[in-house]
Chain A
Amino acid sequence: MREFLTLLRPRYLAFRNNRTGKSAGNRRAQLFLMGSIGLAFWMGAFAIFYRILRYFQSVEGFGDILAYKLLSMTLLSFFALLIFSSIVTSLAKFYLSRDLILVHALPVRPAKVFLARFAESTLDSSWMVIIYSLPVLLSYGIVFRAGFFFYGAAVMALLPLCLIASALSSCVVMIVAIVLPAGRIRSVLIFLGLILFLVLIVAFRLMRPEQLVDPEAFASLLLYFKSVSTPASPLLPTTWVYDGLRTALTGEIRASLFHLSLAWSFAIAAIYLCFWTAGLCYFAGFSKAQTSPEKLFSRRPASKKKTFSLWGRLFPGAVRAFIVKEVKTFFRDQTQWPQLFLLMALIVVYVYNFSVLPLEKSPIKTIYLQNVISFLNMGLAAFVLTAVAARFVFPAVSIEGEAFWIVMSAPVSIGTFLWIKFFIYYVPLLVLAEILIVATNLLLHVTPFMMWLSATTIFLMVPGIVALGLGLGASYPDFKSENPAQAVTSFGGLLFMLCSACYIGLVVVLEAGPVYTFFMAGLRGRVLNLIQWLWFIGSFCLVLLLSVLTVVVPMRLGIRNLKER
């Protein structure tokens, strides 16, 4: 036990030293902001579930069925999230962390090392899911007027779910690490990304959410829910947890304890299986992972002159150097690939959404609705862009890592470096944003004015969002992170998302009034008067000014911060 605690101690000490370090005041402010945002999301989740459950209660005959179905689906989603998160975390904890070489060199039994890593992995992969499942279960408790037993059962139900997910994921990871050639462990992530992509597409297609706006289809959907109100597979851990919670909600304590016991006994068995597997193959897998990573696809040997001739003709020295470096390192990093697959999934789902909108069944006039949706779509596309930028643009400076000295010692100013990065990300994101906007507008059959307006507005907004991501990423860089992509969950990442949301909101608000006036005048065949024209032009000038400021200010902040490091 002492060794186990000693192995976990560096983690605790790092956390404690972070709180009491030089910039503790700064950190407290960051913690406050992140805590406030987290609390807002927590309360939002509670409010949404509470509202939905109250609504379900008002649906006569189906209320409880719908509520239980929602609980079952939510638990299944949590479990899927836990499995995915556990696989990624255990891969890092067991095979990829930088401190593993030191830890394995310690005079401690491998089983103890594994136990400490397993504990860390379980905690890291499940704390957020647990925190955000609490408002859901709280809303169930309140709406169903459950007793204290339910809240205790809720805690006792979530814990085995986390342990099962972590143990099973660890087993899978250890077996994969043995089967796959050494050095390719990161390639597993590609495989996972692909699976997730397919699951997302298939799940979305099967759900057919467009049916919910069709009254006839909605009725049959209710019948469908009734028909599937029978329990899910009794072999699924989520079923035991679901049954344990459902019976706790209705006060059937004995039945609840029985189902929770099933979950706990399986959790213990899964942990035993995990440790047994670890004894068999963890160290062998770890040893394999220490060899140099092999190439997933073999490359053409550097045929020297030909390799760079195209780039050489297009760009001057420093620009060419950074573009080539950025593109090559991005595409050779196999951990980036699953993100690209997810991005593709996002685009497909996004565009598909618009292709199945049953606008003609809405009581509101179609041409009006088409153009309103098109206008709101600008904001939505900009939010999608923010999410993409948070993942790819915000960590763009941190991703230089410890090799940042190369940039600092190079005869290139920090400003030039950052602006080159800006254009590297600006071009693909602009193409992505315009594809989203134009494709969805074509599907909506909007007026030429709305098409022009959306394309122009998004053209103005992309540089702002990219500059915000890059500038704030440079203001809050983390060159020592093992996974710079995670920088998005840092204070700077949250600040970027908040600023971007404010910027998008301001642009939409500035344009909404004049666009509505212009559009309605066109629809009714009226001509705009002078004041309305001035309003129209003034609003667009403000959008332009705001967009310029959103580019210049964060970039300057980023440059200044990197210079003063």
Chain B
Amino acid sequence: MIELTNLKKRYGRTLAVAGLNLSVAPGEIFGFIGPNGAGKTTTIRIMGGILAPTEGTVFIDGINMAQEPEAAKRRIGFIPDRPFLYEKLTGWEFMKFSADLYGVPEDMFYEKGAESLKMFSLWEWADGLVESYSHGMKQRLIIAAALLHDPTVIIVDEPMVGLDPMGIRMVKDLLRGQARAGKTIFMSTHSLGVAEDICDRIGVIHRGALIATGTTNDLKRTTGFKEADLEEVFLKLVEEQVPA
């Protein structure tokens, strides 16, 4: 479960996140959409413990991120938008590195790591240095490593960037499967089709503030559209916020 209370983040004079209040329940896939520079990545990084908020609190499974960051992070599988990795490690070594960091027992790792790499079609490349991987392969490796410790909360920033159609399908199925298993999933995306496809609830962020939340149907009702797709709903919501 994720709970954000009055979350704010300032960069100098810029208010990147303006008092977010949000709760995502176990088994739910929450989609976070918004235009470029709306504050999605900043929010996600605060939730992952990578950035400290200026104000407000983040609770992960009831654990306060500011007070017990290690315990909170142990429950998170964090997948960033850009796949920066240790280029001089092999894929397998990176998996082991993650397993060691997150306390995955050694015996369990060998089975699970291999299974995971096979699932992400990386097993053949397991002994290759990460620097020789393509963008998509790196992204898949990060996802594989993030799920290794069986996190209860999965935070994903733009999961489909760099993935081929097969990879996208696989990640969609994977996220749905994880949600069915009771995991809390928080996902930011620019791909409205993906959000519409797999998210139980969607939040629209604009200029650091949450301007709408609900299911796709809720959002359609809010904007007065009945037959429109999420793209039109999104554009309408954002346009309404543009100052005259």
B58 to chain A, nearest CB (A): 13
Considering the complex, give the chain B residue whose CB is closest to the CB of A305: B110
A474 to chain B, nearest CB (A): 16
Contacts of A193-227 to chain B: CB distance below 8 A: none
Say whether A321 contacts B84, CB under 8 Å.
no
Say whether B131 contacts A325, CB under 8 Å.
no
Contact of A403 among B48, B85, B98 (CB under 8 A): B85
Contact of B85 among A406, A411, A564 (CB under 8 A): A406
Q: Does A3 make an interface contact (CB < 8 A)? A: no
CA gap between A563 and B70 in the complex, in Å: 13
B64 to chain A, nearest CB (A): 14
CA gap between A324 and B132 in the complex, in Å: 20
Chain B contact-residue range equals 35 or more
CB neighbours (8 Å) of B85 from chain A are 403, 406
Central interface residue in A299, A402, A409, A413, by most chain B CB within 10 Å: A409
CA gap between A413 and B70 in the complex, in Å: 6
Say whether B101 contacts A411, CB under 8 Å.
yes
CB neighbours (8 Å) of B70 from chain A are 411-413
Say whether A328 contacts B52, CB under 8 Å.
no
Number of interface residues of A (CB under 8 A): 36
CB neighbours (8 Å) of A405 from chain B are 45, 50, 78, 80, 84
Considering the complex, give the chain A residue whose CB is closest to the CB of B73: A411
Say whether B84 contacts A325, CB under 8 Å.
no
B41 to chain A, nearest CB (A): 11
A393 to chain B, nearest CB (A): 19
Say whether B129 contacts A332, CB under 8 Å.
yes
Say whether A409 contacts B48, CB under 8 Å.
yes
Contacts of A8-64 to chain B: CB distance below 8 A: 22
Say whether B69 contacts A413, CB under 8 Å.
yes
CB neighbours (8 Å) of B86 from chain A are 325, 329, 403, 406
Q: Does B202 make an interface contact (CB < 8 A)? A: no
Q: Does B176 make an interface contact (CB < 8 A)? A: no
- Chain A 246-259 near chain B by CB (<8 Å), digits 1 or 0: 00000000000000
CA gap between A253 and B156 in the complex, in Å: 73
CB neighbours (8 Å) of B126 from chain A are 302
Say whether B92 contacts A409, CB under 8 Å.
no
CB neighbours (8 Å) of A332 from chain B are 88, 129
Contacts of B104-135 to chain A: CB distance below 8 A: 106, 110, 114, 126-127, 129, 131-132
B116 to chain A, nearest CB (A): 13
Q: Which of A161-169, A236-244, A312-320 contacts B (4 or more CB under 8 A)?
A: A312-320
Task: Give the 7 A-B residue pairs with the shortest CB-CB distance, closest first.
Answer: A321-B100, A402-B84, A411-B74, A292-B132, A329-B88, A411-B73, A332-B88
